[in-house]
């Protein structure tokens, strides 16, 4: 459980008419002698998880129940899986079969988190605590691929082209999760802040119709692009560390 301070911007008191794009502390809990908080990020993340789980269960039931004459929903699920398979295979080649499940889960979580603003939620990916965690998971997978497939060659590569480049190569490796997490966090938070400013600072007549177009761009379009970039970079890094042809 992460504390309210660690999960994002601190909660501050603001008037009802002020733009609200903060992570709010909802429920204090005692955890090993330390007070931690259930925040809006935890609640929205749980909602995203439950939504993905319900869609996955419903999709599976629909596909298995209507194999001969699939429903529109079942056909949509099969199309989404087919697109995902082509996406991963096109990037990772022979290695795709080992990572399809992870990339699929990663894509679903990041995408639904990014577009959750369409449903009046604060996107979990607008919290650096969320993006850093998923970036660290990808980083561990990248390093595991490097150690498993390059073995001592990976350690040797840290000292190339000359010995004195070792610190630079180490920083380069550690920069991967930082860049992955900050890129996603910054883009999603920027959209969240822009929408909060729009709703909080403009008069009521300016909030009719226009916000829908802004939500399409900041939540749907930008969210889909950032999901694609995050997953593509993860697959590219893993494929490169495996040192195999894509």
What's the pLDDT tens digit per position in 192-213? 888 877 777 766 766 666 667 7
Q: What is the mean pLDDT of residues 115-141?
A: 92
User: What pLDDT, on a 0 to 100 scale, did the predictor assign at position 158?
Assistant: 84
User: What pLDDT, on a 0 to 100 scale, did the predictor assign at position 165?
Assistant: 81
Count of CB atoms within 10 A of residue 79's CB? Answer: 10
**Distance (Å, rounded) from C-alpha 161 to C-alpha 215?**
48
Q: What is the mean pLDDT of residues 170-197?
A: 90
The residue ranges of every structural domain in the chain are 25-242
Q: What is the mean pLDDT of residues 161-176?
A: 87
User: What pLDDT, on a 0 to 100 scale, did the predictor assign at position 205?
Assistant: 64
pLDDT at 218 exceeding the cut of 90: no
pLDDT at 16 exceeding the cut of 50: no
Q: How confident is the model at residue 22 (pLDDT cuts 50, 70, 90)?
A: confident
Its pTM stands at: 0.82
User: What pLDDT, on a 0 to 100 scale, did the predictor assign at position 130?
Assistant: 94
Q: What is the mean pLDDT of residues 131-137?
A: 95
Percentage of residues in the chain having pLDDT higher than 70: 85
Between 70 and 245, the higher pLDDT residue: 70
Select the highest-mean-pLDDT range: 58-67, 93-102, 158-167. Answer: 93-102
Q: What is the mean pLDDT of the chain?
A: 83
pLDDT at 24 exceeding the cut of 90: no
């Amino acid at each position: 459980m992460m504390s309210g301070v660690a999960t994002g911007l601190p909660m501050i008191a603001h008037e009802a008419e002020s733009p609200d794009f903060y992570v709010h502390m909802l429920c204090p809990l005692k955890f090993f002698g330390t007070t931690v908080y259930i925040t809006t990020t935890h609640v929205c993340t749980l909602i995203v998880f439950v939504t993905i789980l319900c869609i996955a269960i419903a999709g599976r039931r629909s596909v298995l129940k209507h194999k001969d004459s699939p429903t529109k929903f079942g056909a949509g699920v099969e199309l989404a899986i087919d697109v995902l398979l082509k996406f991963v295979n096109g990037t990772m080649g022979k290695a795709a079969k080992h990572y399809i499940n992870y990339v699929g889960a990663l894509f679903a979580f990041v995408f639904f988190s990014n577009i959750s603003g369409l449903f009046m939620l604060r996107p979990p990916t607008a919290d650096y605590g969320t993006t850093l965690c998923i970036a660290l998971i990808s980083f561990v997978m990248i390093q595991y691929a490097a150690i498993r497939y390059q073995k001592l060659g990976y350690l040797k590569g840290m000292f190339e082209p000359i010995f004195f480049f070792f610190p630079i190569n180490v920083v380069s490796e550690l920069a991967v999760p930082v860049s992955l997490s900050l890129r996603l966090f910054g883009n999603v938070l920027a959209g969240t802040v822009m929408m909060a400013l729009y709703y909080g600072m403009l008069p009521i007549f300016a909030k009719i119709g226009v916000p829908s177009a802004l939500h399409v761009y900041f939540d749907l379009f930008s969210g889909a692009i950032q999901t694609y970039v995050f997953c593509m970079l993860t697959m590219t890094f893993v494929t490169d560390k495996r040192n195999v042809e894509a």
